[in-house]
Amino acid sequence: KGPTDKHEFQAETRKLLDIVAKSLYSDKEVFIRELISNASDALERLRYLQLKGEIAGDEKTTLEIHIATDDVKKTFTIQDTGIGLTRNELIDNLGTIAKSGSKAFLEHLKEESAGDVGRTLIGQFGVGFYSTFMVGDTVEVYTRSYHANSPGLKWTSDGSGTYEVSEADGVQRGTKIVVHLKGDCYDFAKEDVISGVVKRYSNFVGVPIYLNGHRVNILQALWMTDPRDVTETMHEEFYRFIANAYDKPRYHFHYKTDAPLNIRALFYVPEYKPTLFDMSRETDSGLTLYSRRVMIMAKANNILPKWMRFIRGVVDSEDIPLNLSRELLQESALIRKLREVLTNRVLRFFADQAKKEPEKYMSFYDDYGLFFREGIVTTADQNQREAVAKLLRFESSKSSSGERISLDDYASRMKAGERNIYFLAAPSRHLAETSPYYEAFRKRDIEVLFLYEAYDELVLMNLAQYDRKNLRSIENELHDDKENTDTVDTSDLHSLSKEDAESLKDWLKGVLLNRVNNIKMTRRLESHPCVITVQEMGAARHFLRTTLADKS
């Protein structure tokens, strides 16, 4: 047995240890997630070497993680059968944080406010292991590398200034880490506490995890598998598990990409109709964020826009560093990019579904279409607003009753030179068709969208433009109509004389007083004696501004 070497942590490492232990993580329990992730990495690397045939025959042990709690000794132990570490690797990887870059990192820390740390650099630094010092007085690492004739080694430190490395007997290939818990962290020596934490963060880790001899993670990370290998039944079970639901998903959307960043996402839309609770903007997101199967954040509110909160599912991205606190994660540029990519893909998914299975889409639209309207009025970016508007469906003067068309359908039928998409809000098709506003448009054979829900008028006015065309209420149109005239053609027997028209106008002015702005004569109307027009729905605009002002 060789001598015990005493080493000093590099000065930078010491300072970093302090930062990690005190402020990098918001929850102490994440040390478990970090250790499981390291164990899982070590096992994956061994699996890779096995595949390449670089591991000697007798080294082909099963790939597992074992966790043990000891409530008497107050220890937490985690053991893997992975690649293990050589003496040099112990010194390089556990003795030094971020070998080459720690100086630069610390300088960066000085320059930036603490809140900016995670945004740029931390993810690139190996600091996960040091989270054990948040909960441990002393940490022991027993390890033996997969390399032939590697000795068993023991690494110990109290996380202050120094660590020791010595040879040790009876060490299996792989790594065992024993954390001697601090007085205020004895909870982590309790099986039920650890069981909860492991399930929360590591339920889908690819290798089996045992806690005091019992298997903990039995679920398959469905989002990581090839979409072609996932059956309908598997989707149902998985959806029920992650959404805590009893119904089936009506849609599932499995999305994988490696550019511009690595994403594995699996989204579901429930079969059930949204409840008032689902509609509330207070409701949390139904998404969980993972990095390589390890949970980073439940109810991840920033991954999709607020209005997509009806979507349940998981998002996994290798590019998201594990060791970021919630606060730092919330606002990172990475999360913004992730949200942008996913939002566009989800919008495209619904547009595709509308084409592929229109009937199914319309039933989804009837149940969930209100979220789209919210999406339009709460989104700032006009391109994205129009991508949502693409999903809207309305009856029109040229559709049959019950049939609904898209804004694209409307645009495809527009006459050359026409720049406006016209709509009319009315409680029913009958009232729309007999409306005095519509009369002039029917005469000119111009298609008009019929909006039966009052809020749709607000939504389209708020949208203002679609595909470089103006969205116009025909109520406004009549108001602005250049052909309106104060002079009345007396050659028409049925029309009033100029004098009669003037005296009618005077009489109306006297009766209506300042309830109207102006009274005009028009020849547009045939079957209605008069019509009331508005310049703009001031009240409606005000309503939009005040109730939906919190853009997300």
Residue with structure tokens 């989707």? 235
Q: How far apart are CA 443 and CA 528, in angstroms?
A: 14
Nearest residue (CB) to Mg ion, 128 versus 313: 128
In the complex, least distance from residue 323 CB atom to ligand ADP, rounded to whole angstroms: 7
Residue 82 interacts with ligand ADP (CB under 6 A): yes or no: yes
In the complex, least distance from residue 154 CB atom to ligand ADP, rounded to whole angstroms: 14
DSSP, res 1: -
**Within positions 24 to 43, which residues make up the interface with ligand ADP, using CB under 6 A?**
34, 38-39, 42
Identify the residue among 17, 94, 295, 388 touching ligand ADP (CB under 6 A). Answer: 94
Provide the β-strand partners of residue 256: 264
Comparing CA positions, the residue from 179, 152, 342 lying closest to residue 266 is 342
Show the binding pattern over residues 142-181: x = contacts ligand ADP (CB under 6 A), - = does not: ---------------------------------x------
Residue 38 interacts with Mg ion (CB under 5 A): yes or no: yes
Nearest residue (CB) to ligand ADP, 38 versus 397: 38
Strand 249-257 relative to strand 263-270, pairing = antiparallel
In the complex, least distance from residue 126 CB atom to ligand ADP, rounded to whole angstroms: 3
Contact 315, 285 (CB under 8 A): no
Residue 80 interacts with ligand ADP (CB under 6 A): yes or no: yes
| Residue 316 neighbours by CB under 8 Å, 6+ apart | 221, 223, 224, 263, 264, 265, 289, 290, 291, 292, 293
In the complex, least distance from residue 198 CB atom to Mg ion, rounded to whole angstroms: 16
- Residue 94 touches which member of Mg ion, ligand ADP, none, C-beta under 5-8 Å by kind: ligand ADP
Before 208, cis peptide (omega within 30)?
no
Q: How far apart are CA 60 and CA 81, in angstroms?
A: 10
Nearest residue (CB) to ligand ADP, 63 versus 461: 63
Comparing CA positions, the residue from 160, 156, 173, 194 lying closest to residue 55 is 173
Nearest residue (CB) to ligand ADP, 34 versus 395: 34
Contact 30, 131 (CB under 8 A): yes
Strand ranges for 217-331 from DSSP E: 249-257, 263-270, 286-291, 294-297, 312-316
In the complex, least distance from residue 120 CB atom to ligand ADP, rounded to whole angstroms: 16
Residue 68 interacts with ligand ADP (CB under 6 A): yes or no: no
Dihedral angle sign, alpha carbons of residues 515, 521, 525, 528: positive
Helices 30-51 and 191-202: crossing angle in degrees, nearest 10, is 60
- Residue 475 touches which member of Mg ion, ligand ADP, none, C-beta under 5-8 Å by kind: none
Nearest residue (CB) to ligand ADP, 173 versus 235: 173
- Residue 449 touches which member of ligand ADP, Mg ion, none, C-beta under 5-8 Å by kind: none
Residue 85 interacts with ligand ADP (CB under 6 A): yes or no: yes
- Residue 397 touches which member of ligand ADP, Mg ion, none, C-beta under 5-8 Å by kind: none
Strand 420-425 relative to strand 448-451, pairing = parallel
Q: Provide the residue type at 308 as one letter.
A: M
Comparing CA positions, the residue from 391, 408, 509 lying closest to residue 459 is 391
Nearest residue (CB) to Mg ion, 207 versus 269: 207
In the complex, least distance from residue 143 CB atom to ligand ADP, rounded to whole angstroms: 7
Identify the residue among 95, 123, 128, 436 touching Mg ion (CB under 5 A). Answer: 128
**Within positions 123 to 142, which residues make up the interface with ligand ADP, using CB under 6 A?**
126-129
Total chain residues near ligand ADP (CB under 6 A): 16
Comparing CA positions, the residue from 419, 409, 423, 415 lying closest to residue 468 is 419
Residues that bind Mg ion (CB under 5 A): 38, 128
Residues that bind ligand ADP (CB under 6 A): 34, 38-39, 42, 80, 82-85, 93-94, 126-129, 175
